[in-house]
Amino acid sequence: MSEFSFDIVSKVDGQSLADAINQAQREIATRFDFKNSRSSIELADFTITIIADDEMKLRNVVDIMQNKCVKRGVSLKALKYGKAEPAAGGTLRQIVTCAQGIEKDQAKKVVEAIKGAKLKVNSQIQDEQIRVSGKSKDDLQKAIALVKAMALDFPVQFVNYR
């Protein structure tokens, strides 16, 4: 009997993120409460830079960005917020990084949970993803349900079904 497998990954679609940031830029440019302000939002290599005049405008820009990300299907769990720091000209800058891949300690928790469920599957960490394999498709589906039910602080996707 053949062996079936799938991979658990944590990736953000770059195009969806870029679309969300572009929509947020358009909304900031047209909103009345941002008139004559130096508020902006930019994306470079899965790093978002938010610049705003004050704390309130910074919160508003973050809120706009989060709404646009949700509408484009980008999980907010993937966004890691840095501290707001003073920037040039009396503005505030906040760096938001978009997590790609599963960190080792988080991957270990997922693997331990799968092994603790006593399913007849093997799971191993490969780079920034987890490969789960087993002889029964039913056991693999139970493993997927288990991972989906876990309260993880990063988004998960299931790919490479074989």
What's the CATH code of the domain at 83?
3.30.70.990
Same domain, 79 and 111: no
Q: Which two tokens stand for residue 41?
A: 């939002």
Mean pLDDT of 95-117: 85
Per-residue pLDDT at 14: 84
Mean pLDDT of 42-55: 89
Same domain, 18 and 94: yes
Q: Which domain holds residue 46?
A: 14-98
Number of other residues whose CB lies within 10 A of the CB of residue 121? 22
Residue 19: pLDDT band by 50, 70, 90 thresholds?
very high
Same domain, 24 and 62: yes
Q: What is the value of pTM for the model shown? A: 0.80
Residue 1: pLDDT band by 50, 70, 90 thresholds?
low
CATH code at position 119: 3.30.70.860
Same domain, 106 and 151: yes
Q: Torsion angle, CA of 129/69/39/29, rounded to 10 degrees? A: 140
Q: Are 43 and 7 in contact (CB under 8 A)?
A: no
Q: What is the pLDDT of residues 61-100, one digit of tens each?
A: 999 999 999 999 888 888 888 888 888 888 889 998 888 8
Cβ-in-10-Å burial (0-12, 13-18, 19+) of 40 comes to: middle
Same domain, 41 and 93: yes
Q: Are 150 and 110 in contact (CB under 8 A)?
A: yes
d(CA 41, CA 43): 7
Helix (H) or strand (E) run with residue 51 in it: strand 47-52
